[in-house]
Amino acid sequence: MDKEVEPFCRALPKVELHAHLNGSISVATMERLIARKPHLNIKHSMTAIHKGQRRTLDECFQVFKVIHQLVDSEEDLLMAAKAVIREFSEDGVRYLELRSTPRVETNTGLTKRKYVETVIEAIRQCKQEDVDIDVRFLVAVDRRNGPEVAMETVKLAEDYMLSSEGIVVGMDLSGDPMVGHGKDLLPALQKARNCGLKLALHMSEVPCQKEESELLLTLPPDRIGHGTFLHPEVGGSWSLVHKVREGNIPLELCLTSNIMGKTVESYEKHHFPYWYKLGHPCVLCTDDKGVFSTSLSQEYQLAASTFGLDQEALWILSQQAISCSFAPEAIKQQLEKRWAEHPLQLTYSQDSGAKRK
């Protein structure tokens, strides 16, 4: 790999659109959380999957259950969320959409409303502290909790979309893909769309979701998470591919997550190049940077080394992610301006001018 790619990817201004809050907590922050709760006897190995290790999706979801034990109060959540935001900023991420499912913790008095308000407060505090990043929040529907809870979550998201001054911009559909069926959640997702919330839906994460994906595409979603098995060669269909392409629905692609979660056999066999070569909008994301021991800079490096992308291609990927975001148009324009004025872009402009001469 080009020895200049690593520093380039760190310096590159980036957009992160698929980051689960609890899965993005770093080892350093985990140490602080574990120290607060020694009685739980939780070890670091229980909260992250390290390089070279692979786990089934079910084993990955078990990791989240452990993390939830550590983040069970407003104080824990505020500290963790602020740390995650700062770390993304330190990695060169200039626009971030965090997603998380509101939870109830009876032992600490944490309610779903307090959960959402605490994440919003963390975002506001980081802004007040001049952390160099614009952050928005997607309220997540966990498919495991069923249609009634999904509808309650939509109402919660709608309330905060109207009262958070633009911080809450959409909804995520996630959770164990082997549990439940999208048809039961369709009314809630339709309600969310009707009230103005953007939809980022995990789709075709496992091979058996072909029928569900066809159904969810009728909404349609504004972005698709993973989309691993949309293509007919891996259990999807040309109909799914056609609908995604026809709607120009961006894909949130998470290389390391898919490999470590065993939904993709190897980096070389990832579905990124299939969509990328079609010119379809693809956004590189981390999914769970803490759990999978990665960063967005590392995901860009992986794309470069695995698929032969040069620095210009990486720049274009990063810049095009702005238009795939759920940011208000005014914010998108500010981000475009920031990218245009970035030293890396100015270097490209100078190089292009030199070549023309």
The residue assigned the tokens 């309600």 is: 191
Q: Respond yes or no: is residue 205 known to be catalytic.
A: yes
Residues contacting 66, CB < 8 A, separation 6+: 42, 46, 47
Taking Cα atoms as reference points, which of 225, 47, 261 lies closest to residue 138? Answer: 225
Q: What amino acid is encoded at 324 in this protein? A: C
SS3 5: helix
Separation CA 34–CA 5 (nearest Å):
35
Sign, CA torsion 235/240/241/244: negative
Give the C-alpha separation, 62 to 44, whole Å. 14
Going from the C-alpha of 47 to that of each of 66, 115, 126, the distances in angstroms are 7, 21, 25
Give the CA angle between residues 175, 178, 184 to the nearest 5°: 75
35 by Cβ neighbours in 10 Å (0-12 / 13-18 / 19+) ranks as: exposed
CA 263/CA 99 separation, integer angstroms: 21
First to last CA, the chain: 30
Identify residue 272 by its one-letter amino acid code.
F
Residue 287 burial class via C-beta count within 10 angstroms: exposed 0-12, middle 13-18, buried 19 and up = buried
**CA gap 289, 295 in Å, rounded:** 6
**Is the C-alpha dihedral spanning 305, 306, 312, 316 positive or negative?**
negative
Measure the CA angle with vertex 205, ends 94 and 55; round to 5°: 90
Q: Residue 15 is inside which H or E element, if any?
A: strand 14-20
- Alpha-carbon distance of 21 to 44, in angstroms, equals 18
* The one catalytic residue among 97, 105, 205, 299: 205
Active site (catalytic) residues: 205
